C-alpha cells in the first residue's frame, strides 16, 4: 500500500530539504535512493531533491560505494549473511549494481563458508536432544534463510553433525575409562 506524500510547508525550499536530509543522515548512513525516497514522501520538489542529493554526493556526505562496503562488512560479520543475501539487501536499498558487486566480492568464499559454519555450530548448541534428521533439516533451513545455497549449507551441516558425533563418541570413551 502506497503512502500519501506528506506535504511540507516549503516543497521548493532547498534549505529545508538540506536540513531534512541532514537529520536523516545523522541517524545512520543512507543511500542516495533512500534519501531521495524519504524526501519525496516528505513532499519536496524533484528539482530540490536532485540539487541537495547531488551536492551532498559531491562533498562526500553521500557515497553509495562506501555505504555498500560498510554494509557488507557489518552485516556479514554481525549476522553471518551470505553474499547473495547481502547483494539483495543492497539492491533493495537502491545501490548501483556495480557497487553491490564490488562490495560483495570483498567477502571471500572462505569467509562465507566460515560464517555459515559458525552460524550452524551456534544454532546446533540449542538443539541438543533432538533427532539428528530434525537438526539437519533445521540447520539447512536456517542457512537457506540467510542466503546460503545448498552447495554451502549441506556440507557445512554435515561437518557440524560429524563434529557432534565425534564429541559424543569422545564423551562415551571418557566415561568408559572411569568404570
Find the domain containing 144 and state its range: 109-178
Can you list the pairs that 16-19 forms with residues at least 24 positions away whose Cβ atoms lie under 8 Å? Answer: 16/44, 17/44, 17/48, 17/49, 17/51, 17/52, 18/52, 18/55
- Nearest one of 89, 14, 119 to 22, comparing CA atoms: 14
pLDDT at 86 over 90: yes
Judge if 22 and 57 occupy the same domain: yes
pLDDT for residue 7:
46
> Could you tell me which residue, 10 or 7, shows the higher pLDDT?
10
- Taking residues 97-125, report their average pLDDT: 94
Judge if 130 and 174 occupy the same domain: yes
pLDDT at 116 over 70: yes
From 6-15, 16-25, 37-46, 54-63, the region with the lowest mean pLDDT: 6-15
Q: For residues 130 and 120, give the distance between their C-alpha atoms in angstroms, rounded to a whole number.
A: 15
Judge if 58 and 91 occupy the same domain: no
pLDDT at 40 over 90: yes
Query: In sequence order, what DSSP letters do the residues of 78-97 get, joined into one string?
Result: HH---HHHHHHHHHHTT--H
Domain membership of residue 136 (yes or no) is yes
pLDDT for residue 169:
63
CB 45 within 8 A of CB 63: no
Judge if 132 and 173 occupy the same domain: yes
Q: Cell triple for residue 83?
A: 553474499
pLDDT at 168 over 70: no
Q: How confident is the model at residue 166 (pLDDT cuts 50, 70, 90)?
A: confident
Judge if 56 and 82 occupy the same domain: no
pLDDT at 22 over 80: yes
Predicted TM-score (pTM) of this structure: 0.77
Judge if 117 and 168 occupy the same domain: yes
pLDDT at 6 over 80: no
Judge if 129 and 81 occupy the same domain: no
Q: Rounded to 5 degrees, what angle do the CA atoms 43, 99, 50 make? A: 25
Q: How confident is the model at residue 74 (pLDDT cuts 50, 70, 90)?
A: very high
Instruction: Tell me which residue has cell 547531488.
Output: 54
Amino acid at each position: 500500500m502506497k503512502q500519501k506524500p506528506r506535504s511540507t510547508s516549503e516543497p521548493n525550499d532547498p534549505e529545508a530539504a538540506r536540513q531534512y536530509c541532514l537529520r536523516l543522515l545523522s541517524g545512520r548512513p543512507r543511500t542516495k535512493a533512500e534519501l531521495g525516497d524519504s524526501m519525496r514522501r516528505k513532499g519536496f520538489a524533484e528539482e530540490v531533491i536532485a540539487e541537495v542529493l547531488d551536492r551532498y554526493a559531491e562533498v562526500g556526505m553521500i557515497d553509495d560505494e562506501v555505504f555498500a562496503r560498510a554494509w557488507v562488512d557489518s552485516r556479514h560479520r554481525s549476522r553471518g549473511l551470505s553474499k547473495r543475501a547481502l547483494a539483495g539487501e543492497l539492491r533493495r536499498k537502491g545501490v548501483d549494481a556495480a557497487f553491490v558487486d564490488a562490495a560483495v566480492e570483498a567477502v571471500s568464499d572462505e569467509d562465507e563458508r566460515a560464517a555459515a559454519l559458525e552460524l550452524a555450530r551456534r544454532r546446533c548448541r540449542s538443539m541438543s536432544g533432538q533427532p539428528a534428521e530434525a537438526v539437519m533439516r533445521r540447520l539447512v533451513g536456517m542457512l537457506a534463510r540467510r542466503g546460503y545455497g545448498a552447495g554451502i549449507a549441506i556440507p557445512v551441516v554435515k561437518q557440524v553433525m560429524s563434529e557432534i558425533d565425534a564429541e559424543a563418541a569422545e564423551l562415551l570413551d571418557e566415561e568408559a575409562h572411569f568404570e
